[in-house]
Amino acid sequence: MGHSCYTLGSSNISDLTVTDLTVEGNLVTKGDNTLGDDSSIDSIIINGSLDVNTSKNDPNAINFTTDGGVNEKISMINKQGTQDNSIDIQSTNGGISIEGQNASINIETNGTIVQEYKDNQSYTIKNTTNNVSLVLDDTNNSNETITTTNSTGIGTDAIKLQSTLGGISAISKNASVILGTEGTIIQEYNNNQSYYIKNKANNVSLILDDTTNSSEFVKVSNTTGTGETAIELNTTSGGVTVSSEHATSVLQKNGTVVNTYKNNQSYTIKNDANNVSLVLDDTTAVSYTHLTLPTICSV
């Protein structure tokens, strides 16, 4: 005791206290998986280092097993080490498997990592204060959730989803957002539903409403903006075409403006009070152009 101890063959012992223990053969504990006759007091105390090496090609070459009751525990503790690898579990040529009764972590030889938890339970990755977390919740059937939370980050990329060489697809049962690899963006929603882009106060919005067949509409709204460009449609190098079923307004690239309306209809340009107007009326067999100007009096 208190010195180096080498066991070159088999060793049957009850209590062992050494400075350094090197096992090159088989270390056999006395009794039924205990050091001695009383597992509550029998122990191995190593005040120096423990180095266990085996060259035996056996699936059970090194085994730590307890089988004494429901309160048994195997602990591996490093009380003072501060290095990143103060406890190092390493398999240089194979994988690592950690398995509990209802959950497991498998680091496979080919590099695959599989983490599995029991049905109707949850899996949480979080920091100590729980302000950054990922929760996979399967506690309620048909109400499973995946929640990614950053409750304190204030940066633009507080939560960031990035694909440097490929695309990104977000797909639900009836809607999807696809960022294609080539730069295309496709946002799709279900028939007879609507698509909204709006600010929190809902005073600036874009609505694509397909809720009623034959009455679908697209609405761009700015209820508070007072500037000349409160709603602006701008093309710096090309033209603009606005088309309905029977009329068009074309602002051509070369500067020409062409407004076309349907035969036997009218075209009117007027102010709000309708006291200044230009009317092109084709509603009757004999069409006419009517120009109304305000009365100008000089004194």
- The pLDDT, as a whole number, for residue 45 is 62
Whether 128 is covered by a domain: the verdict is yes
User: What tokens were used for 159?
Assistant: 């939560």
Domain that holds residue 276: 261-299
Whether 244 is covered by a domain: the verdict is no
Whether 292 is covered by a domain: the verdict is yes
State how many domains the chain has: 3
Q: What is the largest CA-CA distance in the chain?
A: 131
pLDDT tens sequence across 16-49: 555 555 555 555 444 343 344 455 555 666 666 7
pLDDT tens sequence across 76-134: 999 999 999 999 999 999 999 999 999 999 999 999 999 999 999 999 999 999 999 99
Whether 241 is covered by a domain: the verdict is no
Whether 115 is covered by a domain: the verdict is yes
Whether 278 is covered by a domain: the verdict is yes
Q: Is the distance from CB of 74 to CB of 68 less than 8 angstroms?
A: no
CA angle 230, 236, 241 (to 5 degrees): 75
Q: Is the distance from CB of 177 to CB of 169 less than 8 angstroms?
A: yes
- The pLDDT, as a whole number, for residue 48 is 67
Whether 187 is covered by a domain: the verdict is no
pLDDT tens sequence across 266-283: 999 999 999 999 999 999
Best CA proximity match to 123, nearest among 95, 142, 114, 89: 114
- The pLDDT, as a whole number, for residue 42 is 53
Q: In which order are the strands placed within the sheet that holds 96-99?
A: 96-99, 104-107, 113-116
Whether 179 is covered by a domain: the verdict is no
